[in-house]
Structures are given as C-alpha cells and as structure tokens.
Amino acid sequence: MVGQLRATPPAERGAAHRLQHAGILLAILLLLATSGSIGLALKPATPPPIADACAADAMADECERWDALWQELEHDGVEALAVTVESPDLRPAGDTCGMRYRNLFRHAATTAHFKMRLAAFSNEPAQKLALLDELTLAEDAVTRFRAGVETARIALRKGEPAAALALIAALDVEGVPAACQADAHFVAASAAIQLDDLAAAEAALERAVDADAGFWNARRVQTEVLSRLLVQRRQDPAACLARTRRIIENLGALTSLANDLRQLRDLASNADRQWSRTNPALMLMATLGYRWAGDPERAEVARAAIVTNTGRLPQACEALIIQRAQAMRGERS
C-alpha cells in the first residue's frame, strides 16, 4: 500500500533492537580494530606505579640497589662508577692478569718463564700443552695456576669449551691473586657462552668482574651477556632490574677504563642498532652510553624510544626503567 507505514510487531521490534545493539557493539569493535586503537587492548597494561613495582619481597632489595645507583649518579655523575684500582699502570685490555698488572709473577722460576714463552710462541696445540705440562705441577702456586689457565685457554682456542670448563674447575686457587682468578672465571664464562649456557656465563662473569674490577674484557662480555639475557622474553623482574643495573655500572666503569670514548660509543651504538630500539633496558644502556660518550642528540633519541616500547620486559622492571627515562628528559649530561 503506497503511502502507508507498516507497523512492526512488538516481538519483532525487540529482536530488531537486540540485533541493532549487537550490531552497534560489533561496529564499535571493528572501528576500534581498524583504527588501530585495538592495539591498546593488545598491549600490556600501563606499568604499575613505582611503589607497587618494588612491593614484592623479591624486588625490594634490588630496588634499593637500583635507587642507590641513581642517587650516586645524580650526586657524582658517571665518575661515581669509575674503577679505582691500586695499580697505577693497569692495562685494562690485557687478556691475562699478568698483562693487566705488573709483578704478579715475580716469584716464578726462570725456567717457568722460559717454558711459558716457548709455549706462547708455539702454534701447535700439542706442543704448547707438552711445554705447559710440567708447569701445571710447579711449586709456585701462581705459576701453577697460570699454566692451568693457559691450558684451558688452548682448549677454548681449539673449540673445546667443555674441556676448558673441566680444566678450570680443577684449578687450585689458594694463594693466587684475585686478578688471576678473574682470568679463570673469564675462561669459564667464555666456554659457557660457546656452550650457549648464558646463565652460567652470567654467574662466571660476575665473579670475574668482582675479582678484578679493572678487567675490560670481562666487563665488556658481561655487558653483552646481560644484554642477551635482557632480550629473552622469560625473566624474573628482580633479575631484569639487576641486569640493567649491572650494565649501567659496567658502562660507567668502562668510561674510566677506556682509552678513548669511541670504545664506549661502540657499545652504545651496538645496543642501539642491534635491537631496533625495542627493549627499554637496552635503550637505557644506549642512552647512557651516548651521553657518557658525549653524544647528547643520539642519547635523546634512544631515551625517547624507552618510553614508547613497553611490554618487552617484566612490568615492575620496565616501570622503574621508564621512570628513570622520564626523569632524564631534558637533561644533557
């Protein structure tokens, strides 16, 4: 019938309304999805407030250390993390304690020097080991230890990390200077890395750095291992914060050990490039590395990336990192 409105029955009207409501809901949902706003729902919730981040017992101690670190940095700047060692002629890049420090082998016999030199000159592993063999039984503890470490180093150079680990485990450390013990820990860590056991490497590197704060390679490799652990998806929040703190301490220490700041900048740009600015902890490392290497522009770019890349770390850890990144906004040094 032309010009006559058709009345809708009440039952049909109710169903139509329900359909309409459902349709509207679906439309809103689709709109959100297509506009990209659904990404908000997919992203993790906003990091918890700082007080909450440190509320868990497991986090409390680490939060204290984290705060102490930043207080030191605020008070003294990067100098707060400088390495102080007694030796005035420290060579941080030395591969062994004897290269980093002087006179550690003053009690070694002349023949021990002779055999060690020949072993170092030789390029045949079997011959090296034969020359070192009698030194691993030397009376002097430091000589004995040094020969043992060298044997493990040869195993690593041959590509036999498990053998290197066994040799290190058998070493007697009594009477051996801490700096030389650091060599053994470093070899163990390097072997663990070759075996893809990053947790063991992390522990060994911590021992190496604790034993010799001036050991450049231990600090550098530790930074790399911690970085690798930080990009792993499954980690404990306290471990995440401890690793980030260790990296910052290392970076600060490396500024005092580096011969020039290019070395530091290399570390920062490695962190910057290799993770495509997706991990807040590593971007914090890049931020500080660039800052301390005197590149505030790049530091600011890295800092800005910290707050826009959430969800890559445990929430409590991430919240604390973001808090520091936000606090650094506008700072130049």
Partner 1 sequence: MSHEDATDSAFLDVAANTLAILIMITMFALITVQRTIDGSDHAAAVEDPPMPFVARNHQLFQPFSEYWFVLGDGLVRWNQEALVDALDKAGLFSGAVATEQGLGQLEAAGIVFHDLDSFSVTFHPDLDHLRASAVAPEPAHGTPGLVEVLVQRYRDGRRAPVFLVYAEGMDVFAQLFDELNGRGIRMRWFPWRAEDPLTVVRNVSQFTLDEMRW
Residues between 81 and 100 with contacts to partner 1, criterion CB under 8 A: 89, 91-100
Shorter beta-carbon distance to partner 1: residue 231 or 301: 231
Shorter beta-carbon distance to partner 1: residue 48 or 296: 48
Binding mask 30-59 for partner 1 (x = CB under 8 A): --------x--xxxxx--------------
* Alpha helical stretches, state H, the chain: 10-35, 38-42, 50-53, 57-76, 97-100, 110-121, 125-133, 141-157, 161-169, 178-194, 198-211, 216-230, 237-257, 262-274, 280-292, 296-308, 315-327
Q: Which stretch binds partner 1 (CB under 8 A): 116-124, 169-177, 242-250, 284-292?
A: 116-124
Residue 18 binds partner 1 (CB under 8 A): yes
Residue 210 binds partner 1 (CB under 8 A): no
Residue 197 binds partner 1 (CB under 8 A): no
Binding mask 274-313 for partner 1 (x = CB under 8 A): xxx-x--------------------------------xxx
Q: Are 332 and 288 in contact (CB under 8 A)?
A: no
Residue 323 binds partner 1 (CB under 8 A): no
Burial 95-127 (b: 16+ CB within 10 A, else e): ebbbebbeebbeebeeebeebbeebeebeeeee
- Give Cα separations from 100 to 59, 103, 212 (angstroms): 36, 10, 10
Q: Which stretch binds partner 1 (CB under 8 A): 61-69, 110-118, 241-249, 301-309?
A: 110-118
Residues in 224-243 at the binding interface with partner 1, rule: CB under 8 A:
224, 227-228, 231-237, 240
Residues touching partner 1, count (CB under 8 A) = 92
Residue 272 binds partner 1 (CB under 8 A): no
List the one residue from 67, 71, 102, 308 that touches partner 1 (CB under 8 A).
102
CA dist., res. 138 & res. 147, Å (int): 9
Shorter beta-carbon distance to partner 1: residue 293 or 328: 293
Residues in 56-85 at the binding interface with partner 1, rule: CB under 8 A:
none
User: What is the per-residue DSSP string for 40-109?
Assistant: HHHSPPPPPPHHHHTTSHHHHHHHHHHHHHHHHHHHHGGGGG----S-TT--TT-SSHHHHSSSTTTTS-
Residue 131 binds partner 1 (CB under 8 A): yes
User: Which residue from 192, 204, 209, 187 is spatially nearest to 254, judged by alpha carbons?
Assistant: 209
Residue 108 binds partner 1 (CB under 8 A): yes
Minimum distance, C-beta of residue 113 to partner 1, in the bound complex (Å): 6
List the one residue from 75, 86, 106, 137 that touches partner 1 (CB under 8 A).
106
